Structure 1
Amino acid sequence: MITQRQLSILNAIVEDYVDLGQPVGSKTLIERHNLNVSAATIRNEMKVLESIQLIEKTHLSSGRCPSQLGFRYHVNYLLNEASQQQHSKSQRLKTLMASNHYNVASALSEFAEELSKASQYTTLVMRPDFKQDIINDIQLVRANAFLVIMIVVFTSGHVEHLHLASQAPLTNEELTKIANFVSAQFKYQRDVSFENEINTFTNSPVERDFIKNLVSSLEVHINEQSNGIFTGGKFKLIDALDETNVSSIQPILQYIESHRIINLLENMSDKATDVKIGDEIDNNLSDISIITSDYHIDNNLRGRIAVIGPTAMRYQNVIQLLNAIW
């Protein structure tokens, strides 16, 4: 546990190191912060912070840099402060959904770019888990004798289109009857199993096979859609790194493009905002930080946001930004 004065000095060192990109000395702290103590006192407190490994001295300067432990202490302070504050919540995503005609892919892609511009870092927006969304209606439209287009409308306003093959031609009347039947089974519930209901519904082997294919295709499609990630400002990550940590570029890009980032986002806590720093993420990512939060499309449907940058990132700005998102 450190004193309030030591915490103020640590926070000032982190802020100046992020702003200036170089080790911070007592003179810089006095010039940039109203700490109301002498340079000698600051140097003594810096020695204490160094002894408990919250800051470290480089060989090239008399100044100090935050250690990963120091960044963690600073971030924990910011998260605690943020948890005690009331935040005005933005409904921007709802506006984007409407302007993109409830096309989730288009809305989330635009959302990722906007968040990247606002944060000045690379941003990932993970698709919501559509397995939690409720199917409101299913419509079947015959494209030709053996091809049917399935239109799936969710309560969130999201719409999906799937192509289904039929072993034998189905009339428009048969397709309408099947669509009404399947919609009734899915309404207000998911992961339903209605083998017996299918057998009661129709004696036609063609219709039975078509319904089973429809349900299977829909479930596979929803599972695949729920793993999608939209990236905003990917090259901002490269811009944020310098010659001391440029080696982190390839590992983090590989991490983003693999399923490991999805697992990380899914396993990070359900706090309003969470932060992973350096090797808390992965042993190969010592110079990277990831800040995550939730977003909501409606009360049932939510996804994850991740802002990725160097460990020397403007945590306070990003935490405030993410805390303002609903």
Structure 2
Amino acid sequence: MLTERQLLILHAIVDDYVRTAEPVGSRSISKRDDIPFSPATIRNDMSDLEELGFLEKPHSSAGRAPSQQGYRYYVDHLLSPHRLTGAERAGISSLASARLQAMEEVIQESARILSEMTSYVSIVLGPEWLEAKLRNIQIVPMNDHKAIVIIVSETGHVENHLVHIDEAVTLSDLERTVNLLNERLVGTPLVHLQGRISAELVKLFKQHVANYKQVLKALNDSFNVTKADKVFYSGKTNLMIQPEFQDMNKIRSLFNMLEEESLMHQWLRSQNNGLHVSIGAENEIEAFESCSLVTATYAIDGRHVGTLGVIGPTRMEYRRMIKVVDSLSKDLSKLLTDLYQND
């Protein structure tokens, strides 16, 4: 159990180190108005905090820096709520004022806003495409040989597929196909569409659609859903201005990891629902051992469908990042729910 004095000193060291990126000494701490202790007293407590694992002493420095354990304790026990500034509120509300209509555009814009507000890398995992269920299918003829198949999920995600239509297929064939698909498949997980059509609907198509073989052949690729959820980034180069990432090998390793979309997708999906802060080695990815990640899940109509967050150094302004990420996730949830309900 840390003493009240040790708590004050730990809090002050984290605050100063986050601000300056320089190891913090006892003399500089003693000059703070909120620390009424002598440098000698502070120095003794700093030594104790180091022995307890909350601080570490960088090489060739008399000062101390927070350890991963120190940051963890700071985030879990010492943070006070951050009140958004007017500029921060305006930045977050700009997502809704952009009046975007496509889900992917909204998610891309949220990533841009988040990186711009935080000066870190923003990362947004799109809604769970494969796990989503069918809401609606439309087939829009373009000319005698082409049509667009529009698949809409219950989460509001839209997939468009251009298909080639045999000249024997009529508008009546397409209308009956759409009616049968929506009548029988609404609520089916997208990943199971093709299987259900093959197993259950072929007989119905044979009865009601004159040129059903040509129609099914044209639609086959549209229902072969193998696409993974998308990961959107913004502000990758922001990390390069941070002192911790001046080592080119470190930044190269981090950038390479960000390009591994399937691994990033899996990692983000493993994050807990709600707000989550992972620090340093807690991320369980070697390239991120010098990073912290603040994430929050967002929802559509009350159902958690994706994750957004920021990646930055462990020397992160946690208090502000937590509030910004949490607030933007709530605005994104409201905006996507409105789009879904009004679709």
Question: How would you bin the TM-score normalised by the shorter chain?
Answer: 0.7 to 0.9
Q: Give 1:268's aligned residue.
A: 271
Q: Give 1:198's aligned residue.
A: 202
Seen in structure 2, the aligned counterparts of structure 1 residues 59 and 188 have a Cα distance that, compared at 3 Å, is closer
Of the candidates 270, 282, 285, which is equivalent to residue 282 of structure 1? 285
Contact 1:132-1:301 within 8 A present in 2 as well: no
Aligned residues: CA RMSD: 2.9
Contact 1:12-1:33 within 8 A present in 2 as well: no
Deviation of 1:115 after TM superposition, in Å, equals 0.8
Deviation of 1:67 after TM superposition, in Å, equals 1.8
Is 1:256 the counterpart of 2:258? The answer is yes
2:44 maps to amino acid:
N
Q: Give 1:303's aligned residue.
A: 306
Deviation of 1:246 after TM superposition, in Å, equals 4.8
1:289 maps to amino acid:
S
Q: Give 2:222's aligned residue.
A: 217
The alignment's TM-score, normalised by the length of structure 2, stands at: 0.80
4+ residue segments displaced more than 6 Å: none
Is 1:152 the counterpart of 2:151? The answer is yes
Structure 1 residue ranges without an equivalent (≥5):
83-87
Seen in structure 2, the aligned counterparts of structure 1 residues 211 and 62 have a Cα distance that, compared at 3 Å, is same
Structure 2 residue ranges without an equivalent (≥5):
82-88, 331-343
CA distance in 1, matches of 2:319, 2:123: 18
Q: Give 1:85's aligned residue.
A: none
CA distance in 2, matches of 1:68, 1:20: 17
Deviation of 1:312 after TM superposition, in Å, equals 0.9
Contact 1:278-1:311 within 8 A present in 2 as well: no
The alignment's TM-score, normalised by the length of structure 1, stands at: 0.84
CA distance in 2, matches of 1:119, 1:148: 43
Is 1:129 the counterpart of 2:133? The answer is no
Deviation of 1:311 after TM superposition, in Å, equals 1.4
Deviation of 1:3 after TM superposition, in Å, equals 2.7
Aligned to 2:286, what secondary structure does the other structure show? coil
2:307 maps to amino acid:
R
Q: Give 2:109's aligned residue.
A: 110
CA distance in 1, matches of 2:218, 2:94: 34
Seen in structure 2, the aligned counterparts of structure 1 residues 213 and 106 have a Cα distance that, compared at 3 Å, is same
Q: Give 2:37's aligned residue.
A: 37
For residues 306-321 of structure 1, the aligned pairs below 5 Å read 306-321=309-324
Deviation of 1:242 after TM superposition, in Å, equals 4.3
For residues 76-115 of structure 1, the aligned pairs below 5 Å read 76-77=76-77, 95=96, 99-101=99-101, 103-115=102-114
Deviation of 1:11 after TM superposition, in Å, equals 2.0
| CA deviation profile, 1:231-255 (whole Å, cap 9, x unmatched) | 1111111112446655321111111
Deviation of 1:263 after TM superposition, in Å, equals 1.5
Report how many residues are paired. 314
Q: Give 1:138's aligned residue.
A: 137
CA distance in 2, matches of 1:247, 1:155: 43
Deviation of 1:219 after TM superposition, in Å, equals 4.5
Contact 2:275-2:294 within 8 A present in 1 as well: no
Contact 2:146-2:162 within 8 A present in 1 as well: yes
CA distance in 1, matches of 2:24, 2:92: 39
Q: Give 1:67's aligned residue.
A: 67
Aligned to 2:46, what secondary structure does the other structure show? helix
1:26 maps to amino acid:
S
